[in-house]
Amino acid sequence: MVYAQTEVCKDLIALQLKEGGPLLFEAEALAVEGAESERPRVRFRCEGDEGVLECDYVVGCDGFWGVARKAVPASLSREFERT
């Protein structure tokens, strides 16, 4: 089965609209805090305003240089490489 990226986006947007949570585009993550805790937070900026998301999970998909990678404590971090 192929679950295309566009379909993942559509499904996530539909779920968020159904559940009534905030749906933010073009938001810049400034920091992920409390990555080792039960309630991690994402500080972000969107349309000039700063906010904080209180989360159950944070999925860090912001690339190698993004803020999420830096938020994972070294003791909990594992790296996988394939050459």
Which residues here bind ligand FAD, judged by CB under 6 A? 28-29, 61-63, 66-67
CA angle 39, 57, 83 (to 5 degrees): 130
Judged by beta carbon, residue 51 or residue 66, the one nearer ligand FAD is 66
Judged by beta carbon, residue 19 or residue 26, the one nearer ligand FAD is 26
Cα torsion through 71, 53, 49, 72, rounded to 10:
0
Q: Kindly state the smallest distance separating residue 34's Cβ from ligand FAD, in Å.
A: 17
Chain position whose Cβ is nearest to ligand FAD: 63
Q: Which amino acid is at 9?
A: C
